[in-house]
Each structure stands twice: as C-alpha cells, then as structure tokens.
Amino acid sequence: MSPPSNWNLLLIASDPWDIGLVREALSELEENQYARSFQKTISWQMAECLDDALDLAGTGEYDIALCDLQLSDSEGLHTFLKLRAKAPHLPVIVLVNRSAEDLGIAAMREGAQDYLLKEEFDCLPLARSIRYTLERRQNEIASEEHWGIDKLTGLLDEKEFLRRASYAIELATSTGLSAALTVVEIAMEDNRADRTLDVLEIAERLRGLFEPPDLVARIGPIKYAALRIARAEGIPFPRWVTPSGIPVAHAHARFDAGAPKELSVLLSEAELALSENKLQTMEAFLRQD
C-alpha cells in the first residue's frame, strides 16, 4: 500500500522521449493549481519492458500505471491485457500512436482508464488524465466502504440522494426552512473517449460550489443534483461557470419558508427548466464550432 502522503506511479515505456514528457507532466502536478487538488505527492518508478513491469505491478505497491503499448518485448493490446491480468485493480492509462488510436479505444473497452495520443502528448492533458484517474480510484475505494456513493465521482448516488433529500425536505417543511435545488447536465451525450473526464470535472466543480450539509449527487450518467436547506428566504443559487469545451446546462427550483413543496415537485420544476436550457446550451455550443 502507498504511504498516506504519496501516490506511487509505475511508468512502463521504452522511448526516452515519452519518458521525458512524463517527467514534465509530473512537474506540472507539483504546481499550485494541481497540488491543491491532489493533496499528495507523486513518486514514480520506471519499467522499460513488459517483464519488468509485470514484476513491479504484481507487488501491489502502485496506485496508477502509464503504459506505452509498444515496448521492446511486447506490442499492441497484448501489452495491456498482460498487465491487467497481473494487476487487475491497477488503474492504467495507455499511450498510443495516432495511427493506432483504435488500440487505445480497445484498451479502454478492456478496462483501461484512459488513452493518450503520443502525437498530442502534452504536460497538461497527461496531468489531467493522471489526476482524474487517481481521483476515480479513490472514489472506487470509498464506494466499496460506503454504501450510497457513486463509484465514478464519489458523490452520492441517485438512490441515496433521493433518500436524504426527502428527509431534508420533510425537515425543512416541519421547521419552516427554505430549500433550493440545482440540477446540472452535460447537454450533449456522445461517444467521446474523454467523456468520463468531463463527468469528473463537473463533479469537482459542484464540490467547489456546495459544501456540507448540502447534498450533492450524480443522478444519471451525465446528470447531477444538489440540494441546499437554509433559514433565509430566497436562498441564492451558486454561480455556475460552464467549463471550457463542455456543453453544460443547469436549472434551479426552490421553495421559501411557509410555502413548502415536495421533492418530486422541485425535481419536476427543475427538469422542465433544464430541458429548455439544454436546447439553448447545445445551440450556443455548436455555434462556437
């Protein structure tokens, strides 16, 4: 197991150029914008062939692996499949050439967390992929320990949100409190390989906008909900800033003290407004292209 203050990364690559770029990416993670969200340092070790990688991965000491699918002793999807068989719980990001992008997609179908193109290899995309892969792994571990947690994002899942939100609405109604519901959805569903990263980015933004005892949940593949209970009337909704490159629609519903509504009514009102906002969001997003 990794020490509490450390992430252990296994780099599996033979190409010195790839190794150099990974070094730069890890330096990026040490900068303030990343350090605040990681809250851990990253230590890493090299394996220049698959045989060495399998020996190291089998120790169970690593939290994540970056794996070039073209090694000196192994090529193609076989590289990832052998690594997965040896360390099935190790999150893996694979590195592929653009001409072999189908290998990256195939690896993700077989369980890889993400793939990156060597021709577009850059510090920030790699740092982002590492960050979200580690975050996803933390959330998976947390969800195994805590019932009602969404495995991908670490937010409440839909069932647990509805349970807790129903109780919160009942409490607000009986004690004269106000309630505000926010619903957020990625407005365009497609098959992009990086959609999982989008889902995680929106989850992270919601964590920054809401805090306990607010309830924040992932209630669908690309949909979220957040509920805030407060004493004041006219609870202000958090200011939502749409992430660059992700078409996101959002909508709100509320009730003030003395005029309560059931959770189902709040959800219906928010969903109605969301359906209108989604169309506007998609049109605006497409005009940017």
Residues 107-117: tens digit of each pLDDT: 888 888 888 88
Q: 6-145, what's its fold?
A: Rossmann fold (3.40.50)
* DSSP string covering 194-215: THHHHHHHHHHHHHHH--TTSE
CA 89 to chain centre: 18
**Domain parsing of the chain, residue ranges:** 6-145, 158-288
Which pLDDT tens digit goes with each residue over 202-255? 998 898 888 888 999 999 999 999 999 887 666 666 776 666 678 888 899 999
Categorize the per-residue pLDDT at 2 as very low, low, confident or very high, splitting at 50, 70 and 90: very low
Q: What is the model's pLDDT at position 284?
A: 72
Confidence (pTM): 0.53
Residues 159-214 pLDDT 10s:
999 999 998 998 888 888 899 999 999 876 655 545 788 888 899 889 888 888 89
Write down the residue that tokens 């990086």 correspond to: 194
State the Cα–Cα distance between residues 211 and 180, nearest whole angstrom.
14
Name the CATH superfamily housing domain 158-288.
Answer: Reverse transcriptase/Diguanylate cyclase domain (3.30.70.270)
Evaluate whether 38 touches 134 at the Cβ level (below 8 Å). Answer: yes
User: Where do we find the tokens 């077989």?
Assistant: 110
CB neighbour list of residue 43: distance below 8 Å, 6 or more residues apart: 6, 7, 8, 9
Q: What percentage of the chain carries pLDDT values higher than 70?
A: 83
Q: Can you say how many angstroms the Cα of residue 248 is from the centroid of all Cα atoms in its chain?
A: 15
Q: What pLDDT does 237 receive?
A: 67
pLDDT above 60 for 76: yes
Strand partners, 248: 186
Supply the angle between the helices 158-175 and 263-288 in degrees, to the nearest 10.
Answer: 120
> Given this model, what pLDDT does residue 234 score?
62
